Amino acid sequence: MEAIGPVSYYRCTDCGFVFSQTHLELDPHQWGRLNEQCHHFFEDPAAEKKGNQPPYLEQAMLLAVLSQRGLVDLLSGLDYAAGYGTLSRLLDSYWKLRLPIFDFYVQDGDPTRYLKSDDLGNHGLVVNSAMFEHVLTRQDLDSVNALVRSDGALMIHTVVCERVPPDPEWFYLRPPVHTAFHTNESMRRLMAQWGYAESIYCPKAKSWILFKTADPTRAATCQDLNREMQCEWLLHSTGFVDYWKGF
C-alpha cells in the first residue's frame, strides 16, 4: 500500500456501513494486481506464512452436517470466490462431498471442480467465504446473490459487528484488500432487500446461512443439533442473526 498512500474511509450515518473511498478510486489494473498479490500470498498452499484465514474445517463440518439434516442442498452448491478451493478439498477428503468452485483470480485449478463464468447458473446453495469485505460496489454483492435460487440459501463468512470501530489499528483494516465493513444493521437491510426470510449462525464456523424461504421446522432442527452437540452450535432467527455486538 506504500504506493497508494493514506486510505480514506466513509461511514453511512444511517446503518453504519463503512467503505474505502481510496480503493474505489484505484485504477482497475492496480486494484486487480493488488488482489492477485494478496490472494496468492495468503491462499497459496505452498506459502509458509498464513494470515487470519477462515475456519475452513469448521465450515466444512457445518456444511456436511446441515446437508445430512436437509437444511442445505449441497448437491446443487457452489463455492463462489473460492480461492484455491480449500473448503471444497476438505469436504471431498473427509466427507466425500463434491462442491464445485469458482474464483476470479484462480483459474488454473482442477477443471472438474473449477467452473467458468459462463457455466455458473443458479444454485440451491452458494457459499461465499471472505469476499464481502473485498468489494468495491453494491453490484459485487448483488452478483453473489443472483446465483442463489429463489428457494435456495447463501452461506457467508465475514466480520459483521454492531459498530465498526473508528480505530486505525483495528485488525480488519490491516489487509490491504479489505474495502467494505458491514454492521448488523447493514446486513439486516441487505438480507431484507435480497428477500431472505431466515438465517442461522454457527459461531465455531463464523458463518451465516441465509434462507430465501421460511421453514417452520428449521428452528426445531437447529435446537436438535444443539442438543446433540451439547452446546449452542447454531443460532436461528427470522431476519439476520446479529451475534457480534463488539470485539
- CATH top-level class of 9-238: alpha beta
* DSSP H/E element including 144: helix 138-145
pLDDT tens per residue across all 247 residues of the chain = 778 889 999 999 999 999 999 999 999 888 888 887 776 666 555 555 556 789 999 999 999 999 999 999 999 999 999 988 999 999 999 999 999 999 887 766 676 778 888 889 999 999 999 899 999 999 999 999 999 999 999 999 999 999 999 998 999 998 889 999 999 999 999 999 999 999 999 999 999 999 999 999 999 999 999 999 999 999 999 999 999 986 5
Cell output for 49? 506464512
pTM of the model: 0.91
Cell (9 digits) for 94: 473427509
CA distances from 11 to 39, 52, 120, 207 (A): 26, 24, 33, 24
| Alpha-carbon gap, residue 19 to 11, rounded angstroms | 7
Taking 3-state DSSP, the helix, strand and coil percentages for the chain, each rounded to the nearest 5, stand at 35, 20, 45
Q: Where along the chain do its domains lie?
A: 9-238
Considering only CA atoms, give the Rg of the chain. 18
Q: For residue 48, with 0-12 CB atoms within 10 Å meaning exposed, 13-18 middle and 19 or more buried, which class applies?
A: exposed
